[in-house]
Amino acid sequence: MIKKAADIIKIARSQDRFSTLDIIQTVFTDFIEFHGDRNFADDLAIVGGIAKLDKRPVTVIGIQKGINLQDNLDRNFGQPHPEGYRKALRLMKQAEKFNRPVVTFINTAGAFSGIGAEERGQGEAIAHNLMAMSDLSVPIISVIIGEGGSGGALALAVGNEVWMFEHAMYAILSPEGFASILWKDGSRANEAAELMKITANDLLEMQVIDKIIPETFKGENLPVSKSLNILRKSLIEKMSELSTMSKEALKAQRYERFRKF
């Protein structure tokens, strides 16, 4: 049975949803986390470092929500500040220097819009990431694992391939925000969710994404370990394919992917 958009959003936002760190611990080996943007601070809403994918060194970066109240406060509920995006970009540039592929994981309601974040250049940080990722000379695979909200998600999603988990969402804004703008009534969020076409199946059909990582089989939920194993095998296969492409071909493919919209 195909779930409604509102049901998928509820799953994507669930406190029990697997996180970036859960995926890193299951899919990769030998993970070493790096910290800080070398400019202002270390934003705990974004984690990143180097790891191995089937013995291949890769750079892994992802948005991390908390697993309890205190962790959520520390990680700002998965809403990155500018220094988080700048940390991510620092790690991507390091990956390019050492010719390591990049894998990003996205799970955020959006970039943090507080006064401090705006004062430190939130819009510029996101825009800089978009520009820099479009010109990165190593393979990039971006995976939306829960919420993919607005520019805060796109700042890590300029990949040669963009994938989504079956119970994830990807949208320009939240259904609540859409309903408030269109109808001046945030309570119509479920109705808005259906209109917005923000589920993995909708976005695959429109070719906004390239692949869905299944979380169900014949209407039954798969164990998380099974879905993550599918992700691991898919990453190994696609990275092997992308790694045969020249630097110029990688950039050209990524450019054409996003220009088609």
Ranges of each domain in the chain: 5-254
Q: DSSP character for 66?
A: -
Give the pLDDT confidence score for residue 173 in this predicted structure.
87
Q: Count of residues for the chain?
A: 261
pLDDT band per the 50, 70, 90 thresholds, residue 27: very high
Q: Does domain 5-254 have CATH number 3.90.226.10?
A: yes
Stretch 158-173: mean pLDDT: 94
Neighbouring C-beta atoms of residue 44, cutoff 10 Å: 18
Is 70 exceeded by the pLDDT of residue 45? yes
* DSSP run (H or E) holding 128: helix 122-134
| Band of residue 3 on the pLDDT scale cut at 50, 70, 90 | confident
The predicted structure's pLDDT at residue 260: 84
| pLDDT > 70? residue 2 | no
Instruction: Classify the C-alpha dihedral 56-169-136-81 as positive or negative.
Output: negative
What is the average per-residue pLDDT within 174-198?
88
Query: What is the chain's mean pLDDT, rounded?
Result: 93
Q: What distance in Å separates the CA atoms of residue 8 and residue 171, rounded to the nearest whole number?
A: 13
The rounded percent of the chain whose pLDDT value lies above 90 is 79
Pairing of strands 56-63, 102-108: parallel
Q: What is the pLDDT of residues 72-121, one digit of tens each?
A: 899 999 999 999 999 999 999 999 999 999 999 999 998 998 999 999 99
**Are 172 and 134 within 8 A, CB to CB?**
no
Q: 103 phi and psi, to 5 degrees?
A: -120, 125
What is the reported pLDDT for 219?
81
Contacts of 161 (CB under 8 A, 6+ apart): 140, 141, 142, 210, 211, 238, 242
Q: Is the pLDDT of residue 4 over 90?
A: no
